[in-house]
Amino acid sequence: MRQVITYSKRIVVKLGTGLLTNKKAQIDHEIIQKLVKQIAHLIHEGRQVVLVSSGAIGAGFPMLQLDKRPTTLPLLQASASIGQAKLMRLYDNLFSRENIVVGQILLTRDDLKIRKRHLNIRNTMTSLLQRQVLPIINENDTVSVDEIRFGDNDMLSALVANLIQADLLINLTNVDGLLQCSEDGKSLGTTVIPEVKGLPQHIFRHSTSEKSALGSGGMKSKLMAARMMTTSGEFMVIANGRVDNILIKVINGESIGTLFTPAKPKMVSRKRWIAFFHQAKGKIFVDNGAAKALVYNGKSLLPKGIINIEGKFNIGDIVLIYDNNNEEIGRGMVNFSSTDLVLIMGRHTSDIEPILGHRSYEEIIHRDNLVITSSESEER
């Protein structure tokens, strides 16, 4: 399976804060120089590369005379405004030595959620890549608030990879990959799990909640990113960025780090937008018959199969779909508000108009606006 990723044409590389900064909370120029040369090598090979770089807050907060990463939003944003400028100056200087032009794109979740802005950003990035320019992406920390934050750059990198339909996401960190946990599940060993197909729920027991003192992510967030990639039909690698020539080794198919392989075929663009770029507004719980029809038979969701709902949502919002074992099986765009759905759930389609006085749609969620996230289906 490693041989497949050697053919990757479009690649997203994510560099974590713990990798880019040293123990003194300062930018590690030596490691950045090494990674820049490797990225340049990939571009000169004819591959299209997007760089998602953490480190802005880690680079900026020492300039505010702080001895550790701040926790309040104003200080985080102030640190990011200083650190982002420092990082881009460094990247521009180093990549110019490799005859590569860089472009900066700072994003919030709203930029990717709103369809028009989503498409504009994708078109901009495509134009840059077609001209062998390296887009350097980070969250726009200076304007982001909790409601529109990605949470961490692990998720941002997976969203960017889905936005441009990259073949491969390489997440470089300061650990060797996903580590095998002990039999009691309480600690991690030193053995790297070389390959994971899809991302079954039990894999999360091989992660801890530990985060870098300078960053916002941990192994769990990397696994969430891997789930997004494999659900959309793409590959992801988690590896140690301090290993010599790590990017070259990964792209050459060497068995290094952990490779996450897709369990499903590639997802089309619109379904990626529905599945990943929205914060769900509610939940719909379905019975066994409806769950089977959705997961295995590729059907639309009808009111008859709904047994409960949670949250308040309007027409066009994204909701999560759960089976009666409380496991997520999909997500989709609803044709009815939660107010109306309470009245018609469990009823036949023919009952919609008599109850509501109108029937604009027969389906609660049409299959074209439905994404199955259960690993048991290849439905698109």
Task: Tell me: do 67 and 185 sit in the same domain.
Answer: yes
CATH number at residue 123: 3.40.1160.10
* 302, 259: one domain: no
At residue 298, the pLDDT reads 92
Average pLDDT, the chain: 89
The answer to whether residue 377 sits within a structural domain is no
Task: Name the pLDDT band for 296 (thresholds 50, 70, 90).
Answer: very high
Q: pTM of the entire structure?
A: 0.86
- Same-domain pairing of 141 and 208: yes
Q: Identify whether residues 222 and 116 lie together within a single domain.
A: yes
- The string over 187-197, giving b where at least 16 C-beta atoms fall within 10 Å of a residue's C-beta and e elsewhere, is ebeeebbeebe
CATH number, residue 341? 2.30.130.10
Residues 96 and 162 in one domain: yes
Which stretches does DSSP call E strand in the chain? 10-15, 48-53, 102-107, 134-139, 168-173, 179-181, 188-192, 195-197, 235-240, 258-261, 282-286, 306-310, 318-322, 328-333, 370-372
pLDDT in tens, 313-341: 999 999 999 999 999 999 999 999 999 99
183/229 same-domain check: yes
Model confidence at 376: pLDDT above 80:
no
Q: Which residues touch 155 (CB under 8 Å, ≥6 apart)?
A: 221, 224, 225, 228
Average pLDDT of 20-41?
Answer: 90
Q: Is residue 237 part of a domain?
A: yes
Pairwise CA distance, residues 365 & 21, whole Å: 46
143 lies in some domain = yes
Residue 162's pLDDT band (boundaries 50, 70, 90)? very high
pLDDT recorded at residue 209: 47
Annotated binding site: 14, 54, 141, 153, 216-222
Q: Are residues 209 and 312 in the same domain?
A: no
Q: Is residue 38 one of the residues assigned to a domain? A: yes
Position 261 scores a pLDDT of 95
Is 285 found in the same domain as 222? no
State which of 242, 270, 298 marks the end of a domain.
270
**Is 324 a member of any domain?**
yes
Both 263 and 346 in one domain: the answer is: no
322 and 186 within one domain: no
> What residues form the annotated binding site for ATP?
14, 216-222
Residues of each annotated binding site for substrate: 54, 141, 153
Tally the domains of the chain: 2
CA separation (Å) from 103 to 154, 220, 266, 303? Answer: 20, 30, 28, 48
Domain boundaries, position 109: 2-270
Q: In angstroms, what is the C-alpha Rg of the chain?
A: 22
